[in-house]
């Protein structure tokens, strides 16, 4: 059970609020997860049926955590509760209401970004669009943007203003057509189609409205228009909508998230109760003061100020490195020293950077120091080639309409079936209206094939038919092993004696442990459940029976925390542990609290019975769905003791005792892409706020005066965010170092170095207009023009831009200029720049 005595007065009010809209503005580290889970528990305790509660998060990690906590609080009383991500919830609804969704079959698969891109590329090819002017990624972003705004193809065509948009809309039309032909949805479709389903089928909407009387949404500031619409459609009748968020932590605007959604909540619900959670339980006073001070520079925000009863703690420490190597060296050396001095385990430390490209050098120096680390990188386990290959087999077996997956496996392993054969098979399938398995079966009749190709196709056909039969029953693990075996995938990899092939073998073994876990968690009544999915009454029938069906489905059948938690398949992958030599964490280290989102929550007990349900159907389909919707950042395994390296974005929601922010330079952070637009700059500043508030005890901020990035050296000014931290909160020298001694490499060299220098970077001047130009030291002296970092210039072709680095001197100086959307290197003499 839970006790309201665990809560502060505002938290308590949020938990006790029962009916009507509720906005909780929850600052970083203010215990919002606790509030959400207690609130759910409290609703149930006061008689609200668990199955009438829907709690939505963005990440699986958050969903899992919330589920576990609620389970701890409620035990079996929570049966039937929906705690899931936007995407999981929507997929679940879509599958259930598939009959209302014309053009798609229940076996639809979910395409990830890579799949999307390959579909789109084929569209662009078909439309004969110049890939220079219409890059697939750009068009993809545009389409995603449309979908996030709920613009259907017709809408996009209607409102396309310029040529690019017109072409993008054309591509959009074809792209949707192809997705449908493949019986596939992309991530954005999942939300958009659910909204459309509701809008076009009032009885369906009615059912879900009636069912979900209490809705809770986490990270509301990150919702995009489609998600916002979805939530508000569902909440419209009972208006028991509780949203939690923090406008200061809105860092996904570039992805379509609209912070206005949370800012306008009171307009949407004038009767809303608004509560502010401003007490922070995570960080020291100094860290919090710094974070508050930085974010206060944003004009577009709700006024609030976090406070804490925690100790003042250490001051922030600033290190001005010579270059990125010096910076990395410093970080590694600091970690080593703190470990030695304070007996901290590796996992106490996180190094956060703006872009993934910055991790390499850090890895190098950590390795050199013998400090174990793990990189949480962009490359996901499920995005690895070998994993995608096997998934493609599974997908084709499950959904033979999937041409993308079919194209992927046709010649993997090599069967001598290349582009031209693929084209012929696809064309034949198209003409005959066949799915890919059926087309293969008819390989005899496909025109223009050489005998060997024909034979190879037929043999593949036989293999797939055999596998398909097996896929309908039995374990996924057996099926995957069969695939690896019968296709000679193992043989192919094992014949290849490279380390990469070895890594692939290991990844596949890891994958097999994922499937094994999945198989183990599926109860015997899989068939029963599948039958239920099939015979489910249409929405709009009396809710009672459905709800009961849900309840029966709940225990065990749908909640498979183990499968989702996984925990195994990441460790061998990108999220790796590199063990250093001589790593001697003290004995007490193990007892330290593990980094955990909202770590103020009391320790959890061992897994109770799995009663809080989540949504996955069974079988190959269920497995594929899980894989598609579960990103492996969720698997950041807390048992592993390594320094964590990740982007500031990835760090959102996490906390660490000691945090290093590296690359704090103009053009890096804030990113050069944001320098021209005030809104983008404010988002960078919020990111800085997020990054600062990850730290519990200590934080180091580093910048380098020179940096090798993308192959060339650039000189950047220290980030403007330095100047936004009150000077009295920051030190230039770490007090754990002995007082200044002889000319060390940390002291004189940097201070005497090229430009602004540590003391001259403007921190003391405390400029708050964010302008940089005035602080810049002349870095180039041309005959006619001298450009400075930060100068705003105009180019006849590229338009307006801002200089982010200057290399060399005089007329031959190489300028890196951030124009809207692109970085350009220009030679001062020839660039023909004018100031504006």
Partner DNA sequence: TATCCGAGGCTTTTT
Partner DNA sequence: GCCTCGGATA
Residues that bind DNA (CB under 7 A): 58-61, 85, 87-88, 113, 121, 131-132, 135, 187, 219, 222, 252, 254-255, 257, 354-357, 360, 378, 380, 411, 414, 416-421, 453, 629-631, 633-634, 646-647, 649-650, 652-653, 671, 673-674, 680, 684, 708, 710-711, 822-823
Q: Does 752 belong to an annotated binding site?
A: no
| Nearer CB in complex with DNA: 436/546 | 436
Q: Does 515 belong to an annotated binding site?
A: no
Min dist CB 1 to DNA, Å, is: 30
Q: Are 793 and 803 in contact (CB under 8 A)?
A: yes
b/e sequence 335-353, b meaning 16+ C-beta within 10 Å: bbebbeeeebbbbbbbbbb
Phi and psi, residue 780, nearest 5°: -150, 140
Q: Does 26 belong to an annotated binding site?
A: yes
CA dihedral 572, 573, 574, 575 (to 10 degrees): -50
Min dist CB 621 to DNA, Å, is: 16
Distance (Å) of CA 91 to CA 85, 108, 176, 514: 10, 10, 18, 21
Min dist CB 484 to DNA, Å, is: 19
Distance (Å) of CA 432 to CA 409, 447, 459, 796: 21, 12, 21, 53
| Nearer CB in complex with DNA: 339/707 | 707
Q: Are strands 814-819 and 799-807 parallel, antiparallel or unpaired?
A: antiparallel
Spatial distance between the Cα atoms of 325 and 364, rounded to a whole number of angstroms:
9
| Nearer CB in complex with DNA: 37/672 | 672
Min dist CB 192 to DNA, Å, is: 12
Q: Does 32 belong to an annotated binding site?
A: yes
Phi and psi, residue 676, nearest 5°: -90, -20
Min dist CB 521 to DNA, Å, is: 19
| Nearer CB in complex with DNA: 221/346 | 221
| Nearer CB in complex with DNA: 45/492 | 492
Give the CA count within 13 Å in the CB-facing half-sphere of 494.
8
Active site members: 32-33, 218-219, 249, 694
Please provide the size of the chain in residues.
836
Min dist CB 459 to DNA, Å, is: 15
Min dist CB 85 to DNA, Å, is: 5
Q: Does 498 belong to an annotated binding site?
A: no
| Nearer CB in complex with DNA: 369/575 | 575
Q: Are 351 and 654 in contact (CB under 8 A)?
A: no
| Nearer CB in complex with DNA: 15/90 | 90
Helices 619-629 and 499-521, packing angle to 10 deg: 120
| Nearer CB in complex with DNA: 44/440 | 440
| Nearer CB in complex with DNA: 100/649 | 649
Kind and range of the H or E run holding 403: helix 403-409
| Nearer CB in complex with DNA: 160/376 | 376
Min dist CB 346 to DNA, Å, is: 21
Q: Does 72 belong to an annotated binding site?
A: no
6 CB burial (10 A radius; 0-12, 13-18, 19+): middle
Spatial distance between the Cα atoms of 416 and 453, rounded to a whole number of angstroms:
7
Structure tokens at 793: 């210039």
Q: Are 700 and 331 in contact (CB under 8 A)?
A: yes
Q: What angle do CA 372, 650, 278 make, to 5 degrees?
A: 115
Min dist CB 457 to DNA, Å, is: 11
Q: What is the CA radius of gyration of the chain?
A: 28
| Nearer CB in complex with DNA: 498/764 | 498
SS3 letters across 21-86: CEEEEECCCCCHHHHHHHHHHHHHHCCCCHHHEEEEECCHHHHHHHHHHHHHHHHHHHCCCEEEEH
Spatial distance between the Cα atoms of 774 and 12, rounded to a whole number of angstroms:
50
Phi and psi, residue 660, nearest 5°: -110, 125
Min dist CB 131 to DNA, Å, is: 6
Helices 187-200 and 86-96, packing angle to 10 deg: 50
DSSP symbols for 280-310 = ESSS-HHHHHHHHHHHTT-SSS-----EESS
Kind and range of the H or E run holding 730: strand 730-731
Q: Are 831 and 815 in contact (CB under 8 A)?
A: yes
Within 8 A by CB and 6+ apart from 459, the residues are none
Q: Does 30 belong to an annotated binding site?
A: yes
Q: Does 388 belong to an annotated binding site?
A: no
Helices 202-211 and 225-235, packing angle to 10 deg: 70
Query: Residue 551 CB: number of other CB atoms within 10 A?
Result: 15
Min dist CB 61 to DNA, Å, is: 6
User: Would you list which residues are annotated within the binding site for ATP?
Assistant: 26-33
Q: List the binding residues.
A: 26-33
């Amino acid at each position: 059970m839970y006790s309201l005595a665990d809560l502060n007065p505002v938290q308590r009010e949020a938990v006790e609020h029962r009916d009507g809209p509720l906005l909780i503005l929850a600052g970083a580290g203010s215990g919002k997860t606790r509030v959400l889970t207690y609130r759910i528990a409290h609703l149930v305790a006061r008689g609200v049926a668990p199955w009438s509660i829907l709690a939505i998060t963005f990440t699986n990690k958050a969903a899992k955590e919330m589920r576990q906590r609620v389970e701890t609080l409620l035990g079996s009383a929570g049966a039937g509760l929906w705690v899931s991500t936007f995407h999981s919830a929507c997929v679940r609804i879509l599958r259930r209401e598939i009959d209302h969704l014309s053009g798609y079959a229940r076996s639809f698969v979910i395409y990830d970004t890579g799949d999307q891109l390959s579909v789109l590329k084929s569209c662009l090819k078909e439309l004969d669009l110049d890939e220079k002017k219409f890059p697939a990624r750009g068009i993809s972003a545009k389409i995603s943007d449309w979908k996030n705004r709920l613009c259907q193809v017709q809408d996009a065509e209607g409102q396309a203003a310029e040529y690019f948009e017109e072409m993008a809309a054309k591509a959009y039309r074809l792209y949707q057509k192809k997705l449908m032909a493949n019986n596939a949805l992309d991530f954005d479709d999942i939300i958009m189609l659910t909204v459309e389903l509701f809008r076009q089928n009032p009885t369906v909407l009615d059912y879900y409205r009636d069912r979900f009387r209490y809705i809770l949404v986490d990270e509301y500031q990150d919702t995009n228009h489609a998600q916002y619409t979805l939530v508000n459609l569902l909440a419209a009748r009972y208006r028991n909508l509780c949203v939690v968020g923090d406008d200061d932590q809105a860092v996904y605007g570039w992805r379509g998230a609209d912070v206005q959604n949370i800012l306008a909540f009171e307009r949407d619900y004038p009767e809303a109760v608004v509560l502010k959670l401003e007490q922070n339980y995570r960080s020291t006073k100094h860290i919090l003061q710094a974070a508050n001070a930085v974010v206060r520079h944003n004009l577009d925000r709700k006024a609030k100020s976090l406070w804490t009863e925690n100790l003042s703690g250490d001051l922030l420490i600033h290190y001005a490195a010579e270059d990125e190597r010096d910076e990395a060296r410093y970080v590694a050396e600091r970690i080593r020293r703190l470990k030695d001095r304070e007996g901290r385990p590796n996992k106490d430390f996180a190094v956060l950077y703006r872009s993934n490209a910055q991790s390499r050098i850090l890895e190098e120096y950590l390795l050199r120091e013998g400090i174990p680390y793990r990189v949480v990188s962009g490359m996901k386990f499920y995005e690895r080639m070998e994993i995608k290959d096997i998934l493609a087999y599974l997908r084709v077996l499950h959904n033979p309409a999937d041409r993308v997956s079919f194209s992927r496996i046709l010649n993997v392993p090599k069967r001598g079936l290349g582009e031209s054969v693929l084209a012929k098979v696809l064309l034949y399938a198209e003409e005959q209206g066949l799915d890919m398995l059926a087309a293969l079966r008819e390989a005899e009749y496909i025109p223009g094939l050489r005998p060997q190709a024909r034979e190879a196709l037929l043999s593949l056909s036989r293999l797939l038919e055999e596998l398909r039969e097996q896929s309908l029953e039995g374990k996924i693990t057996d099926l995957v092993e069969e695939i690896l075996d019968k296709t000679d995938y193992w043989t192919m990899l094992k014949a290849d004696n490279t380390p990469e092939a070895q890594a692939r073998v290991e990844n596949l073994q890891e994958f097999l442990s994922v499937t094994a876990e999945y198989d183990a968690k599926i109860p015997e009544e899989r068939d029963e459940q599948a039958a239920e999915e099939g015979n489910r009454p249409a929405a709009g029938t009396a809710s009672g029976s459905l709800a009961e069906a849900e309840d029966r489905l709940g225990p065990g059948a749908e909640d498979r925390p183990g499968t989702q938690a996984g925990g195994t398949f990441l460790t061998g992958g990108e999220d790796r542990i590199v063990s250093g030599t001589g790593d001697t964490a003290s004995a007490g280290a193990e007892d330290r609290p593990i980094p955990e989102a909202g770590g103020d929550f009391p320790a959890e007990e061992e897994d109770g019975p799995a009663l809080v349900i989540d949504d996955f159907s069974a079988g190959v389909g269920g497995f594929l769905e899980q894989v598609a919707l579960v990103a492996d950042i969720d698997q950041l395994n807390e048992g592993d003791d390594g320094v964590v390296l990740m982007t500031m974005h990835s760090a959102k929601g996490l906390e660490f005792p000691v945090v290093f922010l590296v690359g704090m330079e103009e053009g890096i952070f804030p990113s050069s892409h944001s320098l021209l637009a005030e809104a983008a700059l404010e988002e960078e500043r919020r990111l800085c706020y997020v990054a600062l508030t990850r730290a519990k005890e200590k934080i180091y901020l580093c910048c380098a005066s020179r940096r090798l990035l993308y192959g060339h050296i650039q000189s950047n000014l220290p980030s403007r965010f330095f100047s936004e931290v009150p000077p009295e909160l920051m030190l230039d020298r770490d007090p754990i170092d002995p007082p200044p001694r002889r000319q060390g490499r940390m002291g004189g060299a940097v201070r005497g170095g090229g430009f602004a220098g540590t003391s001259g970077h403007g921190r003391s001047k405390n400029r708050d207009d964010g302008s940089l130009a005035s602080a810049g030291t002349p870095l180039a002296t041309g005959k006619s023009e001298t450009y400075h970092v930060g100068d705003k210039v105009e180019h006849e072709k590229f338009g307006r831009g801002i200089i982010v680095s200057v290399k060399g001197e005089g007329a031959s100086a190489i300028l890196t200029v951030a124009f809207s959307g692109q970085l350009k290197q220009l030679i001062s003499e020839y660039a023909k720049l004018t100031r504006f």
